[in-house]
Amino acid sequence: MKRRIIVLIIVISVTMLVLGMLCYDYAKRLTISTNTISLGVEFNAHATPFYILLEKGSLRENGINVTNLLLFRTGMELAAAVARGDIVAGQACLGPIIMMMDKGIPVKIIGKIHNGGFALVVDPDKIKDLKDLNGQVVYTLGPGTQTHFLALKIQDKYNVSFSEIKSLPPQEILAGLIKRSIVAAILPKPYPEVAESLGLKILIESNDVWPNMPGSYIFVVEEYYEKNPDVIKQIVRLIENEIQVIRKNTSYATKIVAKWLGISKVIATKAIQSIEWSTEIDIQQIQEYIDFAYSKGVIKKRYDANTLVIKV
């Protein structure tokens, strides 16, 4: 088992390194144009439509020059890169986008990718059902993220009480689950499916706990959008087209996601099919998330969701 864990961690680390090199090479090979943009996406299945566009070369074919492409373990790492000016647009879950806005980073939501896309994973030898979660430590990706709020929702809905909610990057949580040093964790797809393939158990899907749970969105730095509206509109159009295809047939996306994330096609298929792909921006859905974040003291003020969205 110990050897298997070491191999898994090495595979994940190497995958991230190789993809980083591929992304850099991808950017270098693009034909230079005036429609330049730096993109950032999360290293998980939530970014599936972006991976497809990059793999197919659709952005280049439509005259969009991606000068920088960065992959992140968490939305919070991505938010930090936006603050530094490393990227101006991309994909992120709603939590990190709201946190960016709350910290004064002028980003706007311009498109929708999916709802849900998370799950609670447990050690099946220690957690047989929901009542066994009482007094257990649960790991999430950090305050303000959907994983953290999902932990709070689980406590409220199922009347359980975690002894503590801790934070770690997803790869470290996965390693802890496999070593059995972590008993319960909430992770974005496809980490739950990877864990399941290694003997862990998916106890609850996010949509079972939180119907219509907001997932990932397309965001942009406001200044960039004001100067390059046509580039952003084109990207949103391309992403929405891919989402419609994924909703009808996930098979063609499986191979691409498996390649980019370094997982098997079986795991990629399970992850993609468990996500509710949607392009419809629901202002009320975003507002409810903002209100919940504010009620938990995660953000400084209760924002009006209408002011955070640009319909392109």
- 69 contacts 23 by C-beta, under 8 angstroms: yes
pLDDT value at residue 25? 42
pLDDT value at residue 108? 97
pTM of the model: 0.88
Cis peptide before 190 (omega within 30 of 0): yes
Relative orientation angle of helices 75-84 and 94-102, to the nearest 10 degrees: 40
E strands in the chain? 36-42, 65-72, 89-93, 107-112, 114-115, 118-122, 137-140, 164-167, 184-188, 201-205, 216-221, 276-277
Q: State how beta strands 89-93 and 36-42 pair.
A: parallel
> DSSP code of 143?
T
Give me the domains of the chain, ranges plus CATH numbers: 2-115+214-308 (3.40.190.10), 118-209 (3.40.190.10)
pLDDT value at residue 12? 52
Return d(Cα 137, Cα 189) in angstroms, integer. 21
pLDDT value at residue 9? 52
pLDDT value at residue 75? 84
Sheet holding 65-72, edge to edge: 65-72, 36-42, 89-93, 216-221, 107-112
pLDDT value at residue 29? 37
Return d(Cα 96, Cα 204) in angstroms, integer. 23
Residue 97 Cα distances to 50, 106, 154, angstroms: 17, 10, 23
Residue 263 Cα distances to 12, 178, 192, 259, 298, angstroms: 9, 16, 12, 7, 34
Residue 221, beta-bridge partner list: 107
pLDDT value at residue 73? 87
Regions of the chain where pLDDT drops below 70: 1-34
